[in-house]
Amino acid sequence: MRIVLLGAPGSGKGTQAKFLVEKHNIPHISTGDLLRGAIAAKTELGLAAKEVMDKGNLVSDDIVLGMLKERLGQDDAQKGFILDGFPRNLVQAEMLSELFTELSLSLDHALLIEVDPDEVVARIAKRAEIEGRSDDTEEVVRNRLNVYKEQTAPVADFYKKQDIVTEIMGTGSIEDVQARIEAALRF
């Protein structure tokens, strides 16, 4: 089962990814984790990423895709995986599609977790309070939601054209959302 999780920041993607990992015994692949791991391991791609990041720049899609390609080749990803944090825009979605073609893979599901923006702001404010995160102010969160709407939300349309998107209502209890996801994956 190969899944891409889509949704605004604070929609519950990380929480639901943990559930899917446990339920289906497939790895959760986060591009942020890949970057940190490659840098710590001092791989060729990790060193290239570190050099870019040390200059305050964003790591190129090519470097991230190279790390993703390496990760998808590992044994634990052979029966499936959950991608979280990639693709973030249409260019990345197209690059991922090309990578899947190269690796003879196909995406089974794109799960779009939908949550009202005001609910997202409330959730992240609560998370900021619990975790003591100063970067989760309402202004910052609303800006992240605008970036999501402009850059990441169109990725859902890309996958809708492939008829693999399932919209999941991300409100209610964590268990309610899990049940909706499991129902969607049974198809």
Name the pLDDT band for 117 (thresholds 50, 70, 90).
very high
DSSP state, residue 115: -
**pLDDT for position 131:** 84
What confidence tens digit (pLDDT) does each residue in 9-32 have?
A: 889 998 999 999 999 999 999 888
14 and 38 part of one domain:
no
13 and 56 part of one domain:
no
Number of domains in the chain: 2
pLDDT at 164 over 90: yes
Q: Is 13 a catalytic residue?
A: yes
Angstrom distance (rounded) from CA 145 to CA 7: 10
What confidence tens digit (pLDDT) does each residue in 47-77 have?
A: 998 888 888 777 889 999 999 999 999 999 9
124 and 95 part of one domain:
yes
> In Å, how far from its chain's centre is CA 176?
21
Check: CB of residue 114 under 8 Å from CB of residue 168: yes
40 and 90 part of one domain:
no
Handedness of CA 104, 108, 113, 114 (dihedral sign): positive
165 and 99 part of one domain:
yes
CATH number of the domain at 147, please.
3.40.50.300
Angstrom distance (rounded) from CA 32 to CA 110: 19
Nearest to 159 by CA among 60, 92, 62, 102: 92
Average pLDDT over residues 112-125: 91
Q: Examine the fold and report which residue of 73, 100, 135 is the final residue of a domain before the chain moves on.
A: 73
Handedness of CA 77, 80, 83, 87 (dihedral sign): positive
Catalytic residue among 2, 71, 144, 180: 144
Average pLDDT over residues 110-134: 88
Catalytic residue among 13, 71, 123, 180: 13
22 and 52 part of one domain:
no
- CA 25-92-77 angle, to 5 degrees, is 20
Q: Which domain holds residue 121?
A: 2-27+80-185
Q: Is 180 a catalytic residue?
A: no
Name the pLDDT band for 187 (thresholds 50, 70, 90).
low
123 and 150 part of one domain:
yes
51 and 113 part of one domain:
no
**pLDDT for position 136:** 77
Average pLDDT over residues 88-107: 95
Q: Is 36 a catalytic residue?
A: no
68 and 87 part of one domain:
no
